[in-house]
Amino acid sequence: MNFGYKNMDYTLQILSGDGIGTEIVNEAQKVIGWINSNTDITIKTHEDLIGGQAYDEYGTPLADETLENCRKSDAILMGAVGGPKWDNVEYNKRPEAGLLRLRKELDLFANLRPALVFDALIDASTLKPEIVRGLDILIVRELTSGVYFGEPRGIKDIGNGQRRGINTQSYTTEEIKRVARVAFDLARKRSNKVHSCEKANVMESGKLWREEVSTLRAEEFSDVTLEHMYADNCAMQLLKNPSQFDVIVTDNLFGDILSDEAAMLTGSLGMLPSASLGHKGSSALYEPVHGSAPDIAGQGKANPLATILSLAMCLRYSFDRGDIAEKIENSVQKVLNDGIRTEDIMTKGCLEVSTSEMGDAIVKSLGQ
């Protein structure tokens, strides 16, 4: 097929990770196979370990060599990390620490988490159809600062058999402005509206967040509508009237929570892709928003669509091939319209399929 572009080769570092990671990434690999045989681009994949798998094999959840390979590749596709097996591993060696290190080292500060309700999945949402129909929200979560990384942190002995757990919420002007800039830029290509969420009523970091976002809007984005909202109110409004939102920009912790909530509006956490972007020209990370779901790992029940949609985001943002991304997104839509479902999004009258049958259905729908 000729899309009228130059032939291009891209390198993709694949990190399947733990739990359902391998199963879901396998299905994305099928889509990569389709891309390599049916489009003018070639994606060369290289596989390595992250999370608990990497801890078991290398004694660290992200080996230096893996990190260097990630840095050198054009993009990274990850499955998921974590699981009860590593519950007692020391904090900085836990599976999650590998993912956090990857985000931090590559300075992937802008995490894009779109929550899109597919018409075919309206009944899979626990909310009323009239509330979620046509929903299209983009959460832009700050990913490399805030309470996830702030110092001081730790657990201290404070005597008398008492301990104190400490984490620090911290943001600088530049950290706030650079992620808000991404949100405003993306809003311009959508409905031109940004909600900025923090807790300025109780946190100085939230007050600074609010001030810097307002300043940036005044300086560079006065054409974009900006509303400030407390994060707890945002959680409530997402359930009450989600269609008021276009782009939501928020910090690392609130973004983690609000994006899980937004995901459920769409019917299943198994549907939500994400992109973590850093600086122009450097490698970006694509991963589903859901976790490693150890309870269903290895049973062929996992929904691979969030991972396949993450691959689509990779094509759009890292390889600049929105045309191929759209083809993949349309195939997902078509397969859902045909009533093909994994267990998590199953409704009456549809056909329940396994993880791998879902991947096959997507490839079949992509065609030759």
Site map for ligand IPM, 99-128, x if CB under 6 A?
A: xx----------------------------
Binding segment for ligand IPM (CB under 6 A), chosen from 4-12, 65-73, 95-103, 125-133, is 95-103
Binding residue (CB under 5 A) for Mg ion from 74, 256, 329, 344: 256
Q: Is 79 exposed, middle or buried (0-12, 13-18, 19+ CB in 10 A)?
A: buried
Q: How many chain residues bind ligand IPM (CB under 6 A)?
A: 8
Strand runs (DSSP E) across the chain, as ranges? 8-17, 41-48, 75-80, 110-116, 136-142, 150-157, 163-168, 193-198, 225-230, 247-250, 273-277, 284-288, 340-341, 351-352
256 catalytic? Reply is yes
Length of the chain (residues): 368
Closest among 147, 154, 200 to 175, alpha carbons compared: 147
Binding residue (CB under 6 A) for ligand IPM from 40, 56, 96, 220: 96
189 catalytic? Reply is no
Of 232, 295, 320, 323, catalytic: 232
Residues in contact with 2: Cβ distance below 8 Å, sequence separation at least 6, in sequence order: 40
Is residue 79 a contact point for ligand IPM (CB under 6 A)?
no
How many Cβ atoms are within 10 Å of 363's Cβ, its own excluded?
17
| Alpha-carbon span 298 to 123, nearest angstrom | 27
Of 136, 260, 334, 360, catalytic: 260
Binding segment for Mg ion (CB under 5 A), chosen from 81-89, 156-164, 251-259, 264-272, is 251-259
Smaller CB distance to ligand IPM: residue 113 or 178? Answer: 113
Picked from Mg ion, ligand IPM, none, the partner binding residue 288 (CB below 5 to 8 A depending on kind) is none
Is residue 211 a contact point for ligand IPM (CB under 6 A)?
no
Binding segment for ligand IPM (CB under 6 A), chosen from 20-28, 96-104, 204-212, 342-350, is 96-104
Of 18, 251, 256, 344, catalytic: 256
260 catalytic? Reply is yes
Is residue 287 a contact point for Mg ion (CB under 5 A)?
no
Give the residue at shortest CB distance from ligand IPM.
96
Is residue 256 a contact point for ligand IPM (CB under 6 A)?
yes
Is residue 251 a contact point for ligand IPM (CB under 6 A)?
no
State phi, psi for 253 to the nearest 5 degrees.
Answer: -75, -45
| Alpha-carbon span 115 to 289, nearest angstrom | 10
Of 10, 55, 148, 317, catalytic: 148
85 catalytic? Reply is no
CB 344, min distance to ligand IPM, A? 17
Closest among 249, 220, 14 to 110, alpha carbons compared: 249
- Residue 106, classed as helix, strand or coil, is coil
Place of tokens 């920009």: 249
148 catalytic? Reply is yes
How many Cβ atoms are within 10 Å of 367's Cβ, its own excluded?
10
Please identify every residue annotated as catalytic. 148, 199, 232, 256, 260
In the complex, which residues of this chain contact ligand IPM (CB under 6 A)? 81-82, 96, 99-100, 256, 289, 291
